[in-house]
Amino acid sequence: GNSVTQMEGPVTLSEEAFLTINCTYTATGYPSLFWYVQYPGEGLQLLLKATKADDKGSNKGFEATYRKETTSFHLEKGSVQVSDSAVYFCALGEFQGAQKLVFGQGTRLTINP
Amino acid sequence: GAGVSQTPSNKVTEKGKYVELRCDPISGHTALYWYRQSLGQGPEFLIYFQGTGAADDSGLPNDRFFAVRPEGSVSTLKIQRTERGDSAVYLCASSRLGANYGYTFGSGTRLTVV
């Protein structure tokens, strides 16, 4: 079945550092890809998405490019802030009637001032 | 309402008891999803409603789990004879029909079975 594998956490960086969180997937067909973020005490929020190969999703300074050849959707940000501290989830969308999401295990990110 | 509301936010129950978890979706959202998030894991799909009917319940782990949405709005996830392994955060999400994965998630119910 479809699956998502994320970089193991936790990840700790200093403010203004460059961030990469790796995500690879296994899927039949051409799924949509997503990054969700869960801030402390809050619900899951969609951060960005890409619906086809070579699409780049971006939001709040974060970017991820849908790479079909490497089955990857790595999350990047050029200069992180303390407020980016959260748990990040990579996910793929299976459309089989329902628009189900298959999530990775999550990566906890802590940014120190 | 403004967001997806889940109640209670926390529930502690004894092994073997019955529990109900409630989800109040965004008004007008016809699609409703339940997911379960175990500690240190990503959410896993449980069940999907389109309107009043369960269109896909393939993620329910066994017949102790059941969900309803009788009027196409509020949904209740019901767990019978709870087990310690049922302890998790149960997440609800809703979306408009046809929205491309335009989910809005609730903050979840943390269920602890002791």
Question: Nearest residue of A to residue B49 by CA position?
Answer: A98
Structure confidence by residue, pLDDT tens digits, B18-70: 999 999 999 989 899 999 999 989 999 999 998 898 889 999 999 999 999 99
- The shortest C-alpha distance from A93 to chain B (Å) reads 7
Residue with tokens 């926390």: B10
In terms of phi and psi (left: phi > 0; alpha: psi -120 to 50; beta: otherwise), the region of B57 is alpha
Instruction: For residue B22, give the nearest of B107, B113, B102 by alpha carbon.
Output: B107
**Burial class for A90, CB neighbours closer than 10 Å (0-12, 13-18, 19+):** buried
For residue A35, the SS3 value is strand
DSSP 8-state secondary structure symbol assigned to residue B20: E
Q: Is B1 on the interface with A (CB under 8 A)?
A: no
Provide CB contacts within 8 A for B63, sequence distance 6+. none
The pLDDT, as a whole number, for residue A96 is: 63
* pLDDT tens-place values along chain A, 113 residues long: 889 999 888 999 999 999 999 999 999 888 899 999 999 888 899 999 998 899 999 999 999 999 999 999 999 999 999 999 999 999 998 776 667 899 999 999 999 99
Question: Nearest residue of B to residue A95 by CA position?
Answer: B101
Distance between CA atoms of residues A33 and B39, nearest Å: 23
Residue with tokens 């393939």: B58
- Partners of A104 on chain B (C-beta within 8 Å) are 42
Q: Is A101 on the interface with B (CB under 8 A)?
A: yes
In terms of phi and psi (left: phi > 0; alpha: psi -120 to 50; beta: otherwise), the region of B108 is left
Structure confidence by residue, pLDDT tens digits, A35-50: 999 998 888 999 999 9
Distance between CA atoms of residues A18 and A113, nearest Å: 14
As given in the structure block, the two tokens for residue A103 are 């999530």
**Residue B45 to residue A89, Cβ atoms within 8 A:** no
- Partners of B107 on chain A (C-beta within 8 Å) are 41-43
